[in-house]
Structure 1
């Protein structure tokens, strides 16, 4: 179990640190305008596509509670954590980084704006890692199901 915890903490810390470093760069003035993607600073006061922005400051406490519940559940379900260690590290590292933004800034620091062929919501590295973690869990679950 110690290896599982170390691998979880490692992936969590790497995602958290990289995301906060990238956000620091944008908070200190970096901008890029391209033909496919703009890299611009945006504060998202909601969650995906700015949903639930009307919850205001309460949103960060709700999200913090959900993260705590997930972490508590994973600690109780050791086999689930063992099966998807890195994926949960990605999800919780990205989630905690975004929640930190809500406490320090006026919202989540987003900066990637895809606008070629269609305009997509502005997002960040943490969002990508959260989605990657979910995709890994789904793929691993499908592979495990086929093996059974």
Structure 2
């Protein structure tokens, strides 16, 4: 199986970015604390959009977006299966179109990113919060999975985005030859018949 370079590049970049941001959040944010607009971490303001999009560090022991709290261990084998399937399916597909490879790589990197947290710390680090709509706190891995699933859905409706199956040509059918009756042997006239005719 030949691996797609675009898949591997996006997978590696988003996975490293996810782990770096999680490490930064664990080091810079206090668990459960909200940052006021006047507070600054280093030279960066932690609130890009106060009251709408904020940073809040929580540890999720469930699945994505805080669901099924305490049941995160159930997602470990699921994450392995999802990432393995995405890698396998991308390797089977042609290099173009690219959209399915992008979508599969995002889903795979998100699954592996959260899997690392569950194996390493038995919990997933989340830090992004849309406060305006009280959306569940999430991380880059969660976002990658969501965006990847949406792109796969779009790819299913765009012509040419997913490789079409090559139709197999039916074998030519030959008409059966009609059965011919065997020719009757030619009857030679007997000598008596020849004398009568003469």
Does structure 2 conserve the Cα–Cα contact (< 8 Å) formed by 1:52 and 1:59? no
Question: Structure 1 CA distance, aligned partners of 2:156 and 2:78?
Answer: 28
Matched with 1:11 is 10
> Which stretch shows the higher mean deviation, 105-114 or 10-19?
105-114
The aligned residue for residue 139 of structure 1 is 154
TM-score, normalised to structure 1, is 0.79
**1:132, 1:58 → 2: CA distance?**
22
Match for residue 128 of structure 1? 143
Instruction: Measure how far apart 1:122 and its partner are.
Output: 0.5
- Whole-Å separation in 2 of the counterparts to 1:78 and 1:134: 17
Structure 2 distance, partners of 1:58, 1:105, is 15
Question: Is the aligned partner of 1:93 residue 2:109?
Answer: yes
- The answer to whether the 8 A contact 1:113-1:120 is kept is yes
- CA-CA distance at 1:54 after TM superposition: 4.3
8 Å CA contact 2:66–2:137 kept in 1: the answer is: no
Three-state SS of the structure 2 residue aligned to 1:46 is: coil
Could you say which residue in structure 1 is the equivalent of 2:59?
43
Indicate the structure with greater helix content: 1
Question: Following TM superposition, by how much is the alpha carbon of 1:10 offset from its aligned partner in structure 2, in angstroms?
Answer: 0.1
Once the two structures are overlaid, the 10-residue window that deviates more, 8-17 or 33-42, is 33-42
Deviation track 1:37-74 (CA, whole Å, cap 9, x = no partner) reads: 22121111111343333435343234323433443454
Conserved 8 A contact 2:130-2:136? yes
What is the Cα deviation at residue 82 of structure 1?
Answer: 5.2
Q: Distance in 1 between matches of 2:147 and 2:75?
A: 23
RMSD: 2.7
Which structure ranks higher in relative contact order (CA pairs < 8 Å, sequence separation ≥ 6)? 1
Count of equivalent residues: 143
Could you report, residue by residue, the CA deviation over 1:68-123 in whole angstroms, capped at 9, with x for unpaired residues? 34434544x435x854111111111121111111111231111011111x311010
Q: TM-score, normalised by structure 2?
A: 0.61
Does structure 1 residue 106 correspond to structure 2 residue 122?
Answer: yes
Larger Rg: 2
Unaligned stretches of 5+ residues in structure 1: none
Give unpaired runs (5+ residues) of structure 2.
37-49, 165-198
